[in-house]
Chain A
Amino acid sequence: MLSITDLHVHYGGIHALQGVSLEAPAGKIVTLIGANGAGKSSMLRAIAGLVKSKTGSIVYEGEEMSGLDPAAIVRRGIALSPEGRRIFPHLTVHENLLLGAYSRRDRAGIARDMEWVFDLFPRLRERSAQKGGTLSGGEQQMLAVGRALMSRPRVLMLDEPSLGLAPLLVKDVFAIIQRINAEGCSVLLVEQNAYAALTIAHYAYVLETGRITLQGTGEALLADDRVVHAYLGG
């Protein structure tokens, strides 16, 4: 269980997160939707330790996470597949995946999980010796997700994993998220594609200009007029 209480994030004069509280229970898919600039990425980056929050707390399995550096947070089982993929273009697919496992020492387990990721994304297996930068956008997205999985996270955070993918691939990505979740990994999902995200989510939050304005089960929010109006184009 990951629980965040009263989180504030500032960038210079910008108050991007203004007291956000959120819970991601073990084994569930939780999604965070909101307009551009609402603060979704800031939220995930704060949990991953990339931006520091002065106030508020981020507690995972009883331990305070804020103040830890990103490497320490990955070691505790929380991984982020960042917005915009951020794969390493000059390294091979294989090396990109190994980097995802940097915090681990169990060689056998790493090899096993490499196979697991290749089974999830067969395309990556075919391309494993190729430089990351030569992959198509969709393949890079698969690599970014696969790379995050290589740390064997217990909480997987995905920042817009379907961005820039063809509709068919988007379906695949959401199916894979459900599959990963079925294997016991909690998921914290940020998505522009609110409909797909709410459909697979057990619980959902709506973020508006740094504040949570709505929350409920995925189903409940799919039926909520305000959500339909603002995020589902209804």
Chain B
Amino acid sequence: MTIEILLQHLLNGLTLGSLYALIAIGYTMVYGILRLINFAHSEIFMLGAYFVFWGVTLFHLPWPLALFGAVVAVALVGVLVDRVAYRPLRDAPRISALISAIGVSFFLQNVAIVLFKAIPREVYRPQWLEDPLLVGGVRVLPLTLFVPIFSVLLMLGLVYVVYHTKPGLGMRAISKDIETSALMGVPVNQVIALTFGLGSALAAASGIMWALRYPQLQPVMGVIPGFKAFIAAVFGGIGSIPGAVIGGVILGFLEILIVAFFPDLAGYRDAFAFVLLIVVLLVKPTGLLGARSEEKV
């Protein structure tokens, strides 16, 4: 294996890992606050990819504008999902919200089938992402650089919101103690809505970039990446944002490197993540950065 190929693999791992990380952040933030696994998150990811497709083909928007519009629109869908499917169940037993999440997931998938038809679609890719660049004598696709760079920028934006703004402070407070946060004057439902919006925006960005990388759109395209990102979030320690990032990146690298070094195992590619999940649950259920399990059941 030449250096060049190894470098390619590492870049691919980083790309895939960033995409998982962006989805995993949404799972972990919602879980951190509501102790809810938002199964509809996979579909949020899928909608991101389709909305860009729509923006470009239906509304003839320039690609960057379509991307921006899709991220914003999907964030609003995320907020709407919370408002309609989860908020009315805030005081109900947690299992009710979980069932509602599964329902929303199926609902969005089927809406997508109706709206977008089940046939896989080709994705529009801006030319500048396709023309190979020479970086230090090595040919790289701009796309493999674009994904990690854009992802890091988004994550920095998220870190800024969560750790340096007032709503971010509200989020961190709510994740520990909703009642006392309310007592401090934190508008709990608004902050939860913001959490869904941010998580959904990141998942949408991930879906959009996923579609550039694996250029086919299907209504069920979110299911496998969504599961894997969920596993990444558990692996990193569900509830922890840094954990979701680390879990996502590690899972991305593992997947690419295992396939690279053991091509015979390529067919089991999707199974690695599940094996990882089982191992984590057996060895360290709280994940890499998870807090001591102080369940608020």
Q: Using a CB–CB distance below 8 Å, which chain A residues touch chain B?
A: 48-50, 69-71, 74-75, 80, 82, 86, 88-91, 95, 98-100, 102-103, 147, 151
Contact = CB atoms under 8 A, between A and B. Distances in A.
A91 B182 CA distance: 16
B180 interface: yes
Contact of B181 (A49, A89, A90, A99): A99
Interface stretch (B2-10, B169-177, B210-218): B169-177
A99 B173 contact: yes
Interface of B: 166, 169-170, 172-173, 176-177, 179-188
Contact of B172 (A69, A90, A103): A90
Contacts, number: 59
Contacts of A74: 183-185
A95 B180 CA distance: 14
A52 to B, nearest CB: 12
A70 B176 contact: no
Nearest to A69: B182
B183 A70 contact: yes
A102 B180 contact: no
B185 A75 contact: yes
A88 B183 contact: no
Given A95-B169, A99-B169, A88 B176 contact: yes
Residue among B177, B185, B188 facing the most chain A CB atoms (10 A cut-off): B185
Contact of B185 (A50, A88, A91, A103): A103
17 contacts: A50-B179, A50-B182, A71-B182, A74-B184, A74-B185, A80-B183, A90-B172, A90-B176, A91-B172, A91-B173, A98-B169, A100-B184, A102-B166, A102-B185, A102-B186, A103-B185, A151-B184
Contacts of B182: 49-50, 69-71
A99 B169 CA distance: 7
